[in-house]
Structure 1
Amino acid sequence: MNDARSLKALLDRCDAAEAEFLSLVEEAGSSSLVQEVERKFLGKGGVVSMLSREITELDAEGKREFGRRIGSLRKLIEGLAGERQRALRQLETERSEIEEKIDLSEFLFRLNTPRLGSLHLVTQAREELEDIFLGMGYVVAEGPEVETEWHNFEALNIPKFHPARDGQDSFFIDAPEGKDGALLLRTHTSPMQIRLMQTQELPIYAVIPGKVFRRDTPDARHTPNFHQIEGLVVDKGITMAHLSATISTFTKAYFGSNFESRLRPAYFPFTEPSAEFEITCAICLGSGCRTCSSTGWIELGGCGMVHPNVFHSVGVDPEIYSGFAFGFGIDRLVQMKHAIEDMRVFLENDVRFLSQFKGVQ
């Protein structure tokens, strides 16, 4: 099947899934049934997830169009399911108040009833970020949290004498070394750039979310275990302008049009030229505070054009292909979007804090 026919078939399946969802959610007579319908379409292994996996069958243009369709379908399902659940819960509450006598004993029972949990705020942000990039035509990829020195450092043009490779900065694992060097907990999601270019045909438009680990001293902006989302684009004719436009689109989609962002020249071994991506501090709105070290700006991650040495590591000809990469801290994105002063609160499991963000997007 050619790409055009394959894209049409996938779009037709999206239309069919949308029609089926609209029918089921309309027939659902209770909020719990609506929740089951939503889980059928958006849950792990659900209809939308299975459709998303087939994006790899398409060419670059097809991936962009199909990604936009999947993103719009997901938002439609989330929006309508949420509205339907709220409406049914209101009806159920009104019916319960009429049919049941509310007295002190029932009030005490409700106080002792366990409350339903929800996704952690960082997990919610990760899913929202995935949706944003799927809508931009990217695919979502995941990689191992335990990496080799070659994938984590050498293939990314990080030499043996670099301080990041010292035991005081990285978590090395006490295990026999293989042909690719020692094992360690990955210090960034960038090793998946190497794995993608080794295993997938070009062009590549992908984002890689996941946990990373560094020997950082916990403070308002750092924890030893945090989350990143990595982006990689490799194609013919890619320039710094494409990177700038991508970051601008992402910033507006996630933070809103009122937030300012900027790129500052920087150095990273695996990109050249390189830049840091910063936004206005949401805590002080640019006036300076403890969280932003009184600068008015928060650095969220790094980006740049893929270094030719990285291409050489995986056998890609930099005279034919070019690309860009970016990596942002998801925890720090959440910190800025919701004006949270100290990142350590994410790990404290304080229900009073976490319960404020049920269903927040």
Structure 2
Amino acid sequence: MIEDIKKIEREAEAAIGAANAVAALKDARAKYLGRADGALTVILRKLGTLSVEERRRVGPLAQQLKLKLERLCEAQETTLLDTGGSAIDATLPPLAPETGHLHPLTQVRWQLEDLFTRMGFIIADGPEVESEWYNFDALNMPSWHPARDMQDTFYVETQKHALSEVEGSKIILRQAQDDKKISSPRLVLRTHTSPVQIRAMERYGVPLRCIIPGVCFRNEATDARHENSFWQIEGLVIDRDISMAHLNATARTFLKEIFGEKIEARVRPGYFPFTEPSVEYDISCQLCAGKGYRTLRHSEPAEESPTNVGSHSREILRLRPSASAQDDNKKCPVCKGTGWLEFMGAGLVHPNVLKAGGVDPKKYSGFAFGMGPHRLVMMRSGVNDVRLFRSGDIRFLRQF
């Protein structure tokens, strides 16, 4: 039995010393000092079966070894905890790195860009800090137009002589000095992507077919459907004999591409200073299935607030109609109970806009349209608060 004790001593010291993690050390301790079937524990239990002479020789050796191994385990555990258990355990499965992905608005933007480029459109771009002339005057919005009021537009404070340094655009500087074209050199954060229509006509001429994705800024209160900075995608087509039929065909094509055949759309008269005639396209609200009332899943709490955008995931914010509408007395927060969601403004390009871009309206005509990609994501994915996209909530973004 003395030989067995010496063998256990050699093996236990080696196992404890080789333990490179707390879990491995616990396994070694259990193997040799475990109360149930530890190797040394088994020997200590057998002492009662030995003769008095043998117990005198074996007992002290076994007890000394037990104390020695316990001290070794404590020392090794202290070492592992001090070093944070940094030794690599090759037996553990590897941790896969989390895969990143694009923001949902970027995904939709790229999808729309791919769709329209396949339809023969080019992608145009322009500055986000614009002159009043490009943002308003050139788009048939004179100085008295209400959209130019401080309550609706962010104006950039700058001195006239520093205009070129702030904006860095020779075109804007030239027009700021041209009293015939612009009355004041004030700059604004563009309220829409429409100024790029003028820049595209100046740069590419006609015929022209382009889309204009970009960020816009408006001084307005935020709610479930509105933000003060948002993405917009605009389209412009100019050629000979362009009519409303071309606009409707283009709209039907990309609506079916994005939503499929199930989407319902309607066209109603509208007003935009830069188009004549003007129309607005509405699509059936996918959040309430066009019913206009908000319904909750049976598993969702009845008092969940969709405006608490920092603490809800898309799963909570998605709405679904139920079989019975008897208890559905809350209006859909997105369509406001109408069952329809304003999706896109459009119309034939106003002759004054064509003139501002250097195009003869007697020879050419065109159509323009503008939409928000966040509306597409909201409809397709069941998001009922536009503020979620800028909330930075990783729980929300991981679902796309």
**Alignment gaps of 5+ in structure 1:** 1-99
Match of 2:381 in 1: 338
1:256 to 252, 255, 260: 260
CA distance in 1, matches of 2:364, 2:148: 29
Shift of residue 336, structure 1, vs aligned partner: 1.3
Match of 1:220 in 2: 224
Matched, 1:155 2:138: yes
Secondary structure, in 3 states, of the residue corresponding to 1:356?
A: coil
Matched, 1:116 2:159: no
Secondary structure, in 3 states, of the residue corresponding to 2:144?
A: coil
CA distance in 2, matches of 1:306, 1:332: 24
Shift of residue 314, structure 1, vs aligned partner: 2.3
2:116 to 133, 140, 145: 133
What one-letter code is carried by the residue in structure 2 that aligns with 1:317? D
Cα deviations by residue, 1:287-344 (Å, 9 ceiling, x for unpaired):
0012101000000121000001111222211111000000001111211121101010
Cα deviations by residue, 1:247-273 (Å, 9 ceiling, x for unpaired):
000100111110011111001000000
Report sequence identity in percent: 53
What one-letter code is carried by the residue in structure 2 that aligns with 1:339? G
CA distance in 1, matches of 2:383, 2:390: 13
2:390 to 323, 347, 354: 347
**Alignment gaps of 5+ in structure 2:** 1-89, 161-175, 293-331
CA distance in 2, matches of 1:162, 1:336: 33
CA distance in 2, matches of 1:171, 1:332: 23
Pair member with larger Rg: 2
1:1-361 matches, within 5 Å, as 101-102=91-92, 106=93, 110=95, 115-177=98-160, 178-179=176-177, 180=182, 181-288=185-292, 289-357=332-400
Q: TM-score, normalised by structure 1?
A: 0.67
Match of 1:71 in 2: none
Shift of residue 101, structure 1, vs aligned partner: 4.8
Report if aligned partners of 2:270, 2:280 keep a CA contact under 8 Å in 1: yes
Shift of residue 142, structure 1, vs aligned partner: 1.2
Shift of residue 117, structure 1, vs aligned partner: 2.1
CA distance in 1, matches of 2:159, 2:208: 33
Secondary structure, in 3 states, of the residue corresponding to 1:126?
A: helix
Cα deviations by residue, 1:102-136 (Å, 9 ceiling, x for unpaired):
5xxx5xx84xx762321100001100000110111
CA distance in 1, matches of 2:228, 2:357: 30
Q: TM-score, normalised by structure 2?
A: 0.61
Secondary structure, in 3 states, of the residue corresponding to 1:168?
A: coil
CA distance in 2, matches of 1:345, 1:130: 23
Secondary structure, in 3 states, of the residue corresponding to 1:312?
A: helix
What one-letter code is carried by the residue in structure 2 that aligns with 1:134? T
Secondary structure, in 3 states, of the residue corresponding to 1:147?
A: strand
Shift of residue 201, structure 1, vs aligned partner: 2.4
Secondary structure, in 3 states, of the residue corresponding to 2:209?
A: strand
Cα deviations by residue, 1:144-193 (Å, 9 ceiling, x for unpaired):
11110000000000121111101111111001243443101100000000
Report if aligned partners of 2:206, 2:359 keep a CA contact under 8 Å in 1: no
TM-align CA RMSD: 1.4
Shift of residue 236, structure 1, vs aligned partner: 0.3
CA distance in 2, matches of 1:115, 1:146: 37
Secondary structure, in 3 states, of the residue corresponding to 2:399?
A: helix
Secondary structure, in 3 states, of the residue corresponding to 1:303?
A: strand
Cα deviations by residue, 1:26-51 (Å, 9 ceiling, x for unpaired):
xxxxxxxxxxxxxxxxxxxxxxxxxx
CA distance in 2, matches of 1:230, 1:342: 22
Report if aligned partners of 2:154, 2:188 keep a CA contact under 8 Å in 1: yes
CA distance in 2, matches of 1:315, 1:219: 39
Match of 1:51 in 2: none
Cα deviations by residue, 1:34-76 (Å, 9 ceiling, x for unpaired):
xxxxxxxxxxxxxxxxxxxxxxxxxxxxxxxxxxxxxxxxxxx
Cα deviations by residue, 1:197-244 (Å, 9 ceiling, x for unpaired):
111121000001011011121110011110000100000010000001
CA distance in 2, matches of 1:300, 1:159: 26
Secondary structure, in 3 states, of the residue corresponding to 1:268?
A: coil
CA distance in 1, matches of 2:339, 2:282: 10
